[in-house]
Chain A
C-alpha cells in the first residue's frame, strides 16, 4: 500500500511543474532566437484572465483555451514590436509588459473575481482518488500530456531540424546568420509570439485547472520562476523539464512539510527555487568559464548594417 500523502505530493508536484514548464519552454524558444522577454508574468496573467472569462461566459473549454493562447500571443507581440522592429531595450520592454499585463488583467477580470467555474479540462483517467503512482499520472488533465508532447516537439526541432538550427544560429551569431540569408526580424518576432502563446497556455492551466478561479496577481511570481528555469536548464528543453519537476516539487512540498513533522518554515521553502537558481547560475558560470549555455546574442538588437 503506497502512502496516500506521497501520492498527493506527487500529484501536486506534477501540476505545479506543468504550469512552470510550459511557460519556461516558451521563454526558451524566444531566448534561443536572441529575444529575452521579461514579460512572462504579464503574459501568463493575460492568458489566464481571458481564458477564464471565456470559460465562464461560454462554458466551452476549447474556445477558452484558444482565446487564452491567442490573446497572450498577441499581447507578447507588443514586445516583438518594441524589440524586433523598433530595436528598443529588451529589459525595459519586457518589464513593462509584465507591469502592463498584471494591471490590465486585473482590470479586465475585476468583475470575475470569485466566480465559480462550471467546466473542467478533460481528463483521461476517471479516478478522483488515485491509489497508485500510475493512477496519479493517468489522472492528470490534457494540458499535462500536451506539455510532454510540446517537450518532445521542441527538443526535436532544436536538436534534429535545420529550422531549429537556424533559430539557434540567430541567437548565437547575428552577423553570420544574416550573411546566411536568414530572415532575422521575422524569426525573432515569431519566436516572441510563440513564447507568448506558451505563456498563455500556462495561464489557462492556472485558472481553468490548477487553482481554478480568478483573482488579482494570482500568477504570484511563477513567471519569474519560469525565467529562472530556462537558466537552470541551460537553455535545453529536457533539462528545463527536470528543473520544472524539482521546482514544482518544492512548491508542492512547502505547505505539506509540517504534516511530515519537519520544523522548517513553509515560507523559507518557498524561496529555495530562487536561491537554487542563483547558486546554479553562479556555479555554471564559474565551471564553464562564462559559458552557461546562454545564446550569445540575447538582448542584442539586430541591424542590417551590422555586417
Chain B
C-alpha cells in the first residue's frame, strides 16, 4: 500500500529517531511512504488557540497537497494526526467553516474536497495492512522485555475508528506480536502534559511522574510511545522528574517503530536508537546480541 507520508515538524528535530525508524520499518514491511512534497506545519494544538479560519486553512493546505497526489495521508505524530483529521471533519461537517476556508485556499490557488483524503496514524496504517499477522514470526522476538504501551491522548481522542477511546489495545497487540510482554497499567491514555512542559513545567512534571510511576509499579522495563511530544516529555524530562520528586526512574522511552525494528532484527543505528536521553541500550543489549548472532542484520 502506498501513502503520502506527513512527518510533521517534530520529526525533523527532537523526534528524529521516530522519522528514521518509521521510514525504515515501513520499508521493511512493504508500506510505501512517499513524503508529502512541501508539506507545512499542521498548526498543532497551538495555532487553533489563535485564529480559527487561519488554523484550519493552514492545516488544509496539506490535505490539498495529498489530494493532488491522490493518496491517503499517514502521520506518525498524534497531534498532527488529530489536527489534520479534525480539519477534514470541520470542512466536511461545517458549511460555514468550509466556505471561509475554501475562499482562503482559492486565493492561494488551492482546493480541497472534504472527505477525499483519509488521515491515518502510522499505527493505524500498520494495522490496516495486517502487520500484526506478519509480525508473528519476527526474527528477533523480544522475549522477556516488559513494555508499557503508552497511548497518550490524541491517537485515540476525541474519537477514532481503529481503536477504543478509553481502553485501546492496538499498541498492546503490537508489543505482544513482537514477542515482548505488554504491561497493563491503568494510566496508559492519561496526558503527558504536552506543551505545558514549556508553559507550566510543574503541572507537566507531575503528569509525567504519574505515568512513569504507574508503569514502573506495574513492572515495566520501558515505555513505547506513538507521539514525539510524549517521547520527549517522558524521556528528556525524566531527570527533572527525578530531581523534583526524589524518584530514581531510569525507564527508556522508545517509539513503537523502534521496537518493531529491533524485533525485525534491524540495526539500532538505522532505527535512531541511541538518540534518547535515558539510554535504552543496556536494557536492549541481550536482544541486540542475539540479533547479531542470528545474523539477521
| A and B associate in one complex | no
